[in-house]
Structure 1
């Protein structure tokens, strides 16, 4: 497993130690950071796709579609 080095202040170290082992806390923080970045990338891609093919309906349109569907 690769090893990384980070610089943190004593205050940050103290805060991280409140959540358990320092290496586990940093590992979890990195995992959360990477998950957040991945989610942001997916949302940006979704926004791009929605701009290319916008689907806009009003609440009244939705109600009309639901009524039509129930009538079948």
Structure 2
């Protein structure tokens, strides 16, 4: 496991503590950030594919269809 050190203000430290253990909050924030970046990458790729394949659905419709499909499994 890798250890990361960051310097934050006392104000930020206090605010983070309100949400639980600082390490847990930071781990969750990093996971959310990485998920967000992956989602952006996937949406961008969907848009690129729609340009070349002239699909009749929008990116948001495609995401909705994917979510529906995953819900059935």
TM-score, normalised to structure 1, is: 0.72
Distance 1:40 1:23 in 2: 26
Q: Compare relative contact order (CA 8 Å, sep 6+) and give the higher one, 1 or 2.
A: 2
Let me know the Cα RMSD of the aligned residues. 1.4
Greater C-alpha Rg? 1
TM-score, normalised to structure 2, is: 0.71
Distance 2:43 2:27 in 1: 24
Count of matched residue positions in the alignment of Structure 1 and Structure 2: 57
Structure 1: which 5+ residue stretches go unaligned? 58-72
User: Deviation above 3 Å: which 4+ runs of structure 1?
Assistant: none
Distance 1:14 1:53 in 2: 51
Distance 2:45 2:55 in 1: 16
User: What is residue 46 of structure 2 aligned with on the other side?
Assistant: 46
Structure 2: which 5+ residue stretches go unaligned? 58-73
**Local SS of the residue matching 2:8:** coil
User: What is residue 36 of structure 1 aligned with on the other side?
Assistant: 36
